[in-house]
Structure 1
Amino acid sequence: MSAFSKLARRYADGNLIVQILIGIILGAIVGFWGHSQLGAGGESANFANSILNTISILGNLFVGALKAVAPILVFVLVATSIITKEFGETKGMGKIVFLYLLATFLAAVVAVCASFMFPVELVLKGVETTQLSAPQNVIDVLKDLIFKIVQNPVVAISTGNYIGIIAWAVGAGIALRSCSKETKNVFKDVSEGITKIVKFVIRLAPFGIFGLVAISIHETGFDALAGYLKLILVLVGSMLLVAFGVNPLIAFIITKKNPYPLIMTTIKESAVTAFFTRSSAANIPVNMALCKKLGLKEELYSISIPLGATINMAGAAVTISVLALAAVNSLDHITVDFADALLLSFISAIGACGASGVAGGSLLLVPLACALFGISDDIAMQVVAVGFIIGVIQDSVETALNSSSDVVFTAIASETIK
């Protein structure tokens, strides 16, 4: 095995979180160096610009790869989920699915409210030259939504029309639910193949983030970092409010009991593990063991926990909503009223249910929400890239919320079943 092969293998087997942190630190160092050279002028500034422009290619390639794979990923994941998902006939499953969807929607509402209270603006390229026909009211949004829904599916995928993509994916999924087992296996295989491609792209995130951080700080100095910090605070704050406010409130309304012993147990024994694994799917065995420890009905949690790992995505709904509104705030000429915000909450919740199970999977659905406001795919994918930069924190907290909520709502439904 050559030295290059050994190095590539060590990189592939390395901890992605650590690698991204290294990329952020190195990008910040190079970016601040380049920014400091701008004041010197002359050859020093030209040399720094040349170096940073070359490094920025890494970021552009990463964003381009995300932009290319995201439309196909959304279509395949949503269609496959509908075609292959078996919700079962177990008593209480209907209540659990309702709680999953309700909590995801309420999480999106919390995120939208937080974004209105603490608006975040990001430093994005091409914003000054972007010409958008910004919707002025919900009627315009709905009209645009309807026309995007009926767009040719091939055109929708090639142009990144995520509204059309998800509409055709849902339609195809419903139409093919009665297809043969062999056909369903084909869709599963295709979904797994696309997911592997996404995983490969995400494995390259440290290089892309290095380039993105370096060029952002080179051009804006501390402005970019300030935007990232505020974005993290809004995201994490919203998720904590859902975990310790919305979920306990739902539990109290249904069970009429103090919900915090259950909440704290799930945080300690499920959320902590999910925080470090950053995968709801990987946390399924942990949640199953916790449900058994809590004495829940096995016939219920054996279905609800795996199902929750794919459709109970409150954290993803928060991420999609906050990042979409950050994109809106970065474009001065777009205004969002209450009705638009409500529609965004609904779209974010639906999109979150189709989020990929890989780390950072929810970020690839941000363009779906951005499309509501006519934001171009180029701008939306820059926001996705920012999401990967802060993903070391955002994705860990998101997964912790998603996974621990599965046990919370399974416990609530199990307790209310006679």
Structure 2
Amino acid sequence: MTAPSPSLWLRLKRLSLVTQIIIGLIAGIALALFAPEVAKSTSFIGKVFVSALKAVAPILVFVLVMASIANHKHGQETHIRPILFLYLLGTFAAAVVAVVASTLFPSSLVLATHDVAVTAPGGISEVLQSLLLSVVDNPVSALMNANFIGILAWAIGMGVAIRHAGDTTREVLGDLSNGVTLIVRLVIRFAPLGIFGLVASTLATSGFGALIGYVHLLAVLLGCMLFVALVMNPVIVFWKLRRNPYPLVLMCLRESGITAFFTRSSAANIPVNLELSKRLGLHEDTYSVSIPLGATINMAGAAITITVLTLAAVHTLGIAVDIPTAILLSIVAAICACGASGVAGGSLLLIPLACSLFGIPSEIAMQVVAVGFIIGVLQDSAETALNSSTDVLFTAAACLGEDEKAQRLA
């Protein structure tokens, strides 16, 4: 007697999140194409998903950043200072590349902006004034009103203060961070349904021209990541080693980037990077610290995602961006990227923080986050590949550079 075949629901549950998102995307396009009136009614599903993202994003930023700072080991940076410098330099440079690319190839999105007031800043002075007022906001008010700059400021302050607390307190904070991350994972599990509703209702209402905007946005994102991987990172490595960087760059992309592209997790790719570091003959006491740390703070791909999507919203709303504001955005995007969650799509949830620099309310920023999930099948894979391969690339560059410097001095 043959066993009964599993139901369609069970089969869908067994599929990976990427496959489920692709199915939701295709189903949404098909529904908008063949039954546009029905597709318009699915907007409620998309609204629920966006509302869930709005609910978890403020508490995620607050708890994740606070726990990361509070549990950072004292003295750890003294052992890997050159690597940390390369991590931060690479992340900031990636944000700058994203600003330039977004200026040269601006992206437009289909956003529901009715009944939402958008106050565009008049210039860098107004941005800085708004930034300072947001920093000193009441923490409860910041969480209630999704003031991400205030949330980030309080998270940093509390994290620094709790570093001096007992081990038990910091362990509890770490457990709280894990709990919030679990809730975020649960919300993201519903991304296929949310994307189905958003794509179906958007295409039925605005037409299939919206797909062109998604393709253009994805092309800008992937183009920035390729430029950073094949041009910007080699320039940084050449500056450190003073020799042809491409053999090392291509090895890291081949051995680490390809694996990370399919696992879509920098944390899951840590063993691959540790093994590659060992084969390269690097110092174990250095790479055993720098590789796991890089999986947390070396986020060039996340900086690109945050910057490009933020500037797509800015361009869509017709907000002017001057050079000082663009530089400030690059700094904020780099800081946001360093605090990005390790879950798939974690960098997308930090977009509202960058959007708040331009007076873009949370209601619109979360629509941009949802767009990120729509293109996230390729975006998140490419982002992870860039992040993870750069971890071992900069670790190798710093170690080899320091060894050569010691040999010259000897």
Query: Which residue matches 2:316?
Result: 330
Of the candidates 235, 254, 260, which is equivalent to residue 240 of structure 2? 254
Q: SS at 1:140's partner residue?
A: helix
Contact 1:348/1:369 (8 A) holds in 2: yes
Shift of 1:220: 1.5
Query: Which residue matches 2:30?
Result: 29
Contact 1:248/1:263 (8 A) holds in 2: yes
CA distance in 2, matches of 1:130, 1:295: 56
Query: Which residue matches 2:394?
Result: 409
Q: SS at 1:356's partner residue?
A: coil
Shift of 1:55: 1.7
Shift of 1:13: 3.8
CA distance in 2, matches of 1:298, 1:311: 20
Matches within 5 A, 1:179-258: 179-258=165-244
Contact 2:21/2:191 (8 A) holds in 1: yes
Residues 87 and 415 of structure 1: CA distance in aligned 2, closer, same or farther (over 3 Å): farther
* Corresponding pairs, count: 399
Q: SS at 1:135's partner residue?
A: coil
Query: Which amino acid in 2 is paired with 1:286?
Result: V
Query: Which residue matches 1:168?
Result: 154
CA distance in 2, matches of 1:22, 1:268: 29
CA distance in 1, matches of 2:122, 2:229: 34
Query: Which residue matches 2:304?
Result: 318
List structure 1 runs of 4+ shifted beyond 3 angstroms. 5-13, 87-92
Shift of 1:89: 4.5
Residues 357 and 249 of structure 1: CA distance in aligned 2, closer, same or farther (over 3 Å): same
Query: Which residue matches 1:94?
Result: 81
Query: Which residue matches 1:305?
Result: 291
Of the candidates 278, 281, 286, which is equivalent to residue 264 of structure 2? 278
Contact 1:32/1:221 (8 A) holds in 2: no
Residues 21 and 353 of structure 1: CA distance in aligned 2, closer, same or farther (over 3 Å): same
Shift of 1:9: 5.8
Contact 1:12/1:203 (8 A) holds in 2: no
Residues 409 and 202 of structure 1: CA distance in aligned 2, closer, same or farther (over 3 Å): same
1:377 paired to 2:378: no
Q: SS at 2:41's partner residue?
A: helix
Q: SS at 2:244's partner residue?
A: coil
Query: Which residue matches 1:266?
Result: 252
CA distance in 1, matches of 2:129, 2:312: 23
Residues 195 and 7 of structure 1: CA distance in aligned 2, closer, same or farther (over 3 Å): farther
CA distance in 2, matches of 1:380, 1:329: 13
Contact 1:90/1:299 (8 A) holds in 2: no
Q: How far does the alpha carbon of each residue in 1:324-365 deviate from its partner, in whole angstroms, 9 at most, with x for none?
A: 001111112x11111110000000000000000000000000
Contact 2:257/2:388 (8 A) holds in 1: yes
Q: SS at 1:302's partner residue?
A: helix
* Unmatched segments (≥5 aa) in structure 1: 36-47
CA distance in 2, matches of 1:341, 1:146: 17
* Root mean square deviation, CA, Å: 1.5
Residues 78 and 20 of structure 1: CA distance in aligned 2, closer, same or farther (over 3 Å): same
CA distance in 2, matches of 1:8, 1:356: 29
Query: Which amino acid in 2 is paired with 1:208?
Result: G
Shift of 1:11: 4.2
CA distance in 2, matches of 1:28, 1:56: 13
Residues 69 and 90 of structure 1: CA distance in aligned 2, closer, same or farther (over 3 Å): closer
CA distance in 1, matches of 2:182, 2:76: 32
CA distance in 1, matches of 2:59, 2:69: 16
Query: Which residue matches 2:92?
Result: 105
Query: Which amino acid in 1 is paired with 2:367?
Result: Q
Shift of 1:416: 2.0
Of stretches 130-139 and 70-79 in structure 1, the one that deviates more from structure 2 is 130-139
Query: Which amino acid in 2 is paired with 1:201?
Result: V
Q: SS at 2:42's partner residue?
A: helix
Shift of 1:165: 0.4
1:343 paired to 2:328: yes
Query: Which amino acid in 2 is paired with 1:124?
Result: L
Query: Which residue matches 1:52?
Result: 39
Contact 1:270/1:286 (8 A) holds in 2: yes
Name the % identity: 56
Q: How far does the alpha carbon of each residue in 1:97-149 deviate from its partner, in whole angstroms, 9 at most, with x for none?
A: 11101100000000000000000010011x24432221111000000000000
Query: Which residue matches 2:18?
Result: 17
Contact 1:32/1:218 (8 A) holds in 2: yes
Of the candidates 102, 106, 122, which is equivalent to residue 119 of structure 1? 106
Query: Which amino acid in 2 is paired with 1:84?
Result: N
CA distance in 2, matches of 1:211, 1:90: 46
Query: Which amino acid in 2 is paired with 1:174?
Result: V
Q: SS at 1:22's partner residue?
A: helix
Contact 1:156/1:165 (8 A) holds in 2: yes
Query: Which amino acid in 2 is paired with 1:111?
Result: A
Shift of 1:56: 1.7
Residues 113 and 90 of structure 1: CA distance in aligned 2, closer, same or farther (over 3 Å): closer
CA distance in 2, matches of 1:299, 1:269: 21
Residues 89 and 378 of structure 1: CA distance in aligned 2, closer, same or farther (over 3 Å): closer
Shift of 1:178: 1.1
* Unmatched segments (≥5 aa) in structure 2: none
1:177 paired to 2:177: no
Contact 2:119/2:360 (8 A) holds in 1: no
